[in-house]
Amino acid sequence: MQAGHVRICHECASESLQPPNEPNCRICHQALRSGELTCSNRLCSDPQRAFEWTAVVGVKAGVLEQGVLRLKGGAYGWGMIFARIILGHLYTHPELVDEVDDIIPMPAYREPHQARKGNDHTGYVIERAILEDEEHLPLRAGSAAHRKDASQSPDAGHDLAC
């Protein structure tokens, strides 16, 4: 698993990933139905959510969906592959993280007694990304995003979910 570099994994995977459908929700990128102005995802309208928006690398379909199912089925090497794809995407699109305080996994839930590996797949991928990150992105594997004190920065509180 250590043979592929972040940029190589991202470039190779990008050839087969589908971008989000248009039109889509500005927060979660879920496709909007014809004539729909707002997303049906309740989390997007929840003022208590721990993030402002998500960065979508690709739609969960085809090869990407197969990899996700393999990871969920216990093929944990896919966690490192997905980590490299996410890092490559963020490195290639630095504008996504310019004003971001934290990059957190979504969905970001697991029971307190559960180990991350095998239960919180996106958190596991972000943990792997932290190990591979060469550009010191504000990656946080915790299930709750912490925010900067508003007095520290005029753009405090901008969290991105992956």
So where are the chain's domains?
A: 6-27+48-161
pLDDT of residue 118: 67
Angle between helices 77-92 and 62-72 (to 10 degrees): 130
CA 111 to mean position of chain CA atoms: 20
CA distances from 149 to 92, 145, 152, 155 (A): 29, 13, 6, 10
Sheet holding 159-161, edge to edge: 53-54, 159-161, 102-104
**Structure tokens given for 31:** 């496709």
pLDDT of residue 156: 42
pLDDT of residue 34: 83
* CA angle (76, 77, 80) in 5-degree steps: 105
pLDDT of residue 154: 38
pLDDT of residue 148: 35
pLDDT of residue 54: 86
**Structure tokens given for 149:** 């004190």
Residues of the chain with pLDDT under 50: 1-2, 144-157
pLDDT of residue 94: 93
Identify the three-state secondary structure at position 151: coil
Write out pLDDT tens, residues 7-32.
667 777 778 888 888 888 988 888 89
**Structure tokens given for 56:** 């979508």
| Residue 60: Cβ within 10 Å count | 13
